[in-house]
A and B are shown apart, each in its own frame.
Chain A
Amino acid sequence: MRLYLVLTIASLKMYFRNRQAIFWALFFPMLIMLIFGLLNFDQFSPPDVGFVDNARNEASTSFRNAVDDGEDPLLDLKIDDEAFLRDELSDGDIDSLIIIPAGFGEADGISTVQAVFDSRKPQEQGITETVTRDVLDSLFLEIADVPDEFRVESRFEIEPTFIEGQGEGFRGFLVPGIAAMAIMQAGIFGVVFSLIRFKTGGVLRRLQATPIGPSHFLIGQMSTRLIVTLLQTYVLIVVGMLALGVSMGNGTVLNWIDLSIMALFGGALFTVLGLAISGWAKTEDVAAPVANIVTLPMMFLSGIFFPIEVFPDWLGNISQFFPLTYLADGFREITVNGASITTLGPELLGLGIWTVVAFAIATRVFRWE
């Protein structure tokens, strides 16, 4: 036991003295997170708008078609009943809500379109309002063959209301994803490159000449990586909270503990995966492309920068089983929705199974020299 402690402390010292490792594990993901978070890439796609159609007539259909023709929508409409969409709005899953009244555009009187906005999303509110008004204008001209002196306000009216949504938007999506990605990168690349150096330089061989042998040393290295994993998670989430204004679940200590458990599951998996790669590869030249082949697809397909839902179904069906997807989803459930770890069985199971697979590969392919 004392030996493990000594080896872990030595490994930690080595780790934190290597500035390059710190940069890649902490500052690089932080930089990526801030760049993407501050640019807020979400604004380049149309807002998600709930659509309640109480009229179901010709006018409401042409309104809908004008807004979202299915190919190049002005607003991404989500059609459902009002109660459900109001929940979605307050959960932050949609950006605003448009309610078309019964008898829309039929009677002579004014049709009042209700619009509900998330006050935390002024940008989406602006777009939704402008688009709605424009479409109503043209709709008015289309259906009402009337002289110009009649103004659109005499037939259509928008009645805005505001609620404060709970969602975190793109930033809330991004921050836990980046934390997961950082764990993957540090786990795989950190382990692969240091271990290959130990291997080719003869460090492991020298350990083999001692009665203890190198496997104990590897356990010390693993413990170090898990400590680094926790550190990465805390630092990245806290920076996300401070710089990007995302919240941390429901803010309880239990939430942080759940986050730590999820981080350790992910850290263990990616460290073992790194061990498998470096144990098998003889030199850096062989290990580097393999490490990239493993990490790059996950970086883009595991829902780190954009949700898996944007991919075609077949791709989404594959990438939902990626190790990084499990970790990112787990983190997100905890940080965005304040989910308890007990409800995250599927994610933990997914990570666990991958860890077992990676461990089996590592023990089979490992070579000391």
Chain B
Amino acid sequence: MTETSLSEKASETGEPIISVTGLTKRYDDLTAVDDISFSVQRGEVFGMLGPNGAGKTTTIEILEGMRRADSGTAVVGGIDVHRHPKDVKKIIGVQLQSTAFFDYLSVSETIKLYGELYGEKVDIGAILEEVELTDRGKAYFKQLSGGQKQRLSIAVALVNRPQVLFLDEPTTALDPQARRHMWELIQRIRATGTTIMLTTHYMEEAEELCDRVAIMDKGKIVQMDAPNALVEQLLKTGFTKTREVKLANLEDVFINLTGRSLRED
């Protein structure tokens, strides 16, 4: 996605779908989230980057209504998360960092059950196709590979046709093929107009998927902009990479040799 299409979208929708002001969360003597503010526009893919312990997951879980902030406000889809966490949960889709489903329910049964929790009758076939699990519909959760579990997790997050999809490290621990498939899936979901907020450790992933990123460190947002703009700013300071720039990297070699298709069956 280019920056122009993003700024067009932002200007035409006006009201942000997520807006966060002065959000703070403390655990004992650790301040996990330290007075952060940001907003996400409708239709945007917004990334949170940062090292482990930076506060990404805590932030995202507050927005999901799963943790209570100590101070500050968070509004998702026009609903105050602190005051009406249940109402927020109805309009969002969630993929947690480590999610397990029921060992002895099949993929289809799991999706159907979660649909019931939202009072939704789900078109299971369509969702399975969307996340490329059509031929695994009858498999039990415990029989799935890592990438398949992750895609089921996204399928479950989509049962209520959410306005905002929260993805916490969606590609961690996936092999390069599965990661690329996940990226394609996220881009397809974004194309349906769903706003996506994700966290990641992979800069390449952020560049590939995100319209804007916030870089967090020690509970604070240290920088926030479009990925390209951030790179431009850095270059303007006179920064140069010490190594010569190659036109391909090792991952390109890996993908070139092993192909793009998924390896999990």
Q: Which residues of A contact B (CB under 8 A)?
A: 2-3, 6-7, 10, 13-15, 17-18, 197-198, 201-203, 205-212
Contacts and interface: CB of A to CB of B under 8 A. Distances in A.
A14 B102 CA distance: 8
Contacts of A198: 100, 102
A14 B101 CA distance: 11
B90 A201 contact: no
Given A6-B113, A211-B90, A14 B96 contact: no
A15, A17, A209, A210 — most chain B CB neighbours (10 Å): A209
Interface string B83-112: 000110110001010111111110001000
B100 A208 contact: no
Contact of A211 (B86, B101, B103, B156): B86
B32 to A, nearest CB: 16
A17 B100 CA distance: 18
A3 B101 contact: no
A209 B89 contact: yes
Given A14-B102, A14-B105, A18-B104, A210 B113 contact: no
A195 to B, nearest CB: 12
List the 6 closest pairs (A to B, CB-CB), nearest first.
A201-B100, A17-B104, A209-B94, A14-B104, A211-B89, A212-B117
A2 B119 CA distance: 10
B104 A206 contact: no
22 contacts: A10-B102, A13-B105, A14-B102, A14-B103, A14-B104, A14-B105, A18-B103, A18-B104, A197-B103, A202-B99, A203-B101, A205-B96, A205-B99, A206-B96, A206-B99, A206-B100, A209-B64, A209-B94, A210-B89, A211-B117, A211-B118, A212-B117
A10 B105 contact: yes
B65, B105, B116 — most chain A CB neighbours (10 Å): B116
A208 B61 CA distance: 11
A203 B103 CA distance: 10
Contacts, number: 63
Interface in B107-134: 109, 113-114, 116-118
A197, A205, A207 — most chain B CB neighbours (10 Å): A205
B64 A202 contact: no
A208 B87 CA distance: 13
B8 to A, nearest CB: 32
A10 B66 CA distance: 24
Interface string B180-213: 0000000000000000000000000000000000
B117 A3 contact: yes
B119 to A, nearest CB: 8
A202 B100 contact: yes
Contacts of A17: 104, 140
A257 B96 CA distance: 46
A211 B114 CA distance: 11
Contacts of A212: 117-118
A14 B109 CA distance: 11
Interface residues on B, range: 20 to 34
Contacts of A2: 116
B86, B103, B114 — most chain A CB neighbours (10 Å): B103
Contacts of B117: 3, 207, 210-212
Contact of A13 (B89, B109, B116): B109
Nearest to B65: A209
A236 B104 CA distance: 26
Nearest to B110: A10
Given A209-B96, A211-B90, 6 more contacts: A14-B102, A17-B140, A202-B98, A206-B94, A206-B101, A209-B89
Contacts of B98: 202
A13 B100 contact: no
B88 to A, nearest CB: 9
A10 B89 contact: no
A211 B87 CA distance: 7
A3, A7, A10 — most chain B CB neighbours (10 Å): A10
Contacts of B105: 10, 13-14
A213 B262 CA distance: 34
A15, A202, A205, A211 — most chain B CB neighbours (10 Å): A211
A207 B102 CA distance: 11
Contacts of B94: 206, 209
Interface in B35-83: 64-66
A201 B96 CA distance: 12
A210 B100 CA distance: 14
A208 B66 contact: yes
Contacts of A208: 66
A13, A197, A207 — most chain B CB neighbours (10 Å): A13
